Amino acid sequence: MTTSSLETTAKALNETLEGLDLAGRLALVASLEGQAVFTTSLGIEDQVITAAIGENKLSINVATLETGRLFNETVALIEKTEETYGILIKRYHPEQADIDAYAARYGLNGFYESVEARHACCDVRKLKPLARALQGVTFWVTGLRRGQSGNRASTPFAEADAERGLIKINPLADWDIETIRAYVAANAVPVNPLHARGYPSIGCEPCTRAIKPGEPERAGRWWWENDEKRECGLHVPEAAASSIIPNSSSAA
């Protein structure tokens, strides 16, 4: 699709999705022409989407970025979720050659030293595998919510991602965390035990800490960086990510 047809389709979808419930939103996406993929981090929002896909047997592929630095609890949850819903969660791994090149340049844990080094690691372990997961995909389903951070406050239900040439679908955009928790409880959705230990947002183990009472949900992600809008680049266009990261020459 051209950029203008992506934008036209996304605008129409955005209006339609707003009037539907979660199952309806996902069923609509599954019914559209073009491949749909949901990328899950196994976080609580993503578990709700996986549950809705699995229980309704929707033709939306489920994939995850197995970065090699995930918490053991997250890795265990991948298998548990597959068993619970009888689905396959396709793992996308980083290339060993890229990891070796990163380690030679920055050190394996060089991401603590600079924003540039951190984004370079996310590029190798997340962005490149994500690009493979999204090859040939028309609709990319995510668990983004407006309440997760100020950076995500205006998340629409559907948006054109011209850089990747697809339409991003955010079926939980208007859900708050209480609604998410109520869905999980009512439907016995398996969730990461780390949530109960103060981790509302869970990424790679070395880059995630528990938050303190009153802190924003994503405060535990890359906590040593100062910028409130820190992201890994999955959901922020490269140019925009670069512009919100002070002193960064790379937003990859």
Which spans of this chain sit near ligand SF4 (rule: CB under 6 A)? 67, 69, 111, 118, 121-122, 125-126, 203-204, 206-207, 232
Q: Min. distance of Cβ 108 from ligand SF4 in angstroms?
A: 9
Q: Minimal CB distance to ligand SF4: which residue?
A: 204
Query: How far is the C-alpha of 67 from the C-alpha of 151, rounded, in Å?
Result: 24
Residue with tokens 């844990």: 109
Catalytic annotation present for 232: yes
Q: Nearer to ligand SF4 by C-beta: 15 or 113?
A: 113
Q: Min. distance of Cβ 190 from ligand SF4 in angstroms?
A: 23
The values of phi and psi at residue 136, to 5°, are 75, 5
Q: Nearer to ligand SF4 by C-beta: 34 or 68?
A: 68
Determine what percent of the chain falls in helix, strand and coil, rounding each to the nearest 5.
45, 10, 45
Angle at 137 (CA atoms; ends 81, 37), nearest 5 degrees? 15
Distances (CA, A) of 38 to 2, 76, 171, 219, 223: 22, 19, 11, 25, 27
Q: Nearer to ligand SF4 by C-beta: 13 or 70?
A: 70
Q: Nearer to ligand SF4 by C-beta: 40 or 67?
A: 67
Q: Min. distance of Cβ 133 from ligand SF4 in angstroms?
A: 15
Please identify every residue annotated as catalytic. 232
